[in-house]
Amino acid sequence: MAFVPTMAHDASNPKESITMNGIDLLPLAVGHMIGLGAIGSCLGVGLLGSKFLESSARQPELMEPLQTKVFLLVGVLDGAFIIATGIGLWFATANPFSR
């Protein structure tokens, strides 16, 4: 038996309920899209920065070539998060799934 989340729409008659469809769960999906993208981006930038500092401490002569690659990768990681945020906000405001 599948679980169907319900929500009461009439306070005077709590036995009557309506089922939630995909449109009702859209804010939850948008929150997950933005939140998980932010967590992933922050973890990625943190790991990238720590490995850059570790490698530049081991081989200081490679610091300048690695620095350009680090900034490029930080931009790609932040770009992925910003794109996910834009798509999530587009879904939340324009709602392309509504009829």
pTM value > 0.75: no
Quick check: 92 and 31 in contact, CB under 8 A? no
How does residue 91 score in pLDDT terms, banded at 50, 70 and 90?
Answer: confident
In the chain, where are the structural domains located?
34-94
State the fold for domain 34-94.
Answer: F1FO ATP Synthase (1.20.20)
Q: What is the pLDDT of residues 16-42, one digit of tens each?
A: 666 777 777 888 888 888 899 899 999
**CB contact set of 19 (below 8 Å; sequence gap of 6+):** 4, 5, 6
Q: Is 24 an annotated catalytic residue?
A: no
**CB contact set of 85 (below 8 Å; sequence gap of 6+):** 33, 34, 37, 38
Q: What is the DSSP letter of 13?
A: -
Q: Of 48, 66, 78, 80, which is the active-site residue? A: 78
Please give the mean pLDDT across all residues of the chain: 82
Q: What is the dihedral of CA 11, 17, 23, 25, to 10 degrees?
A: 80
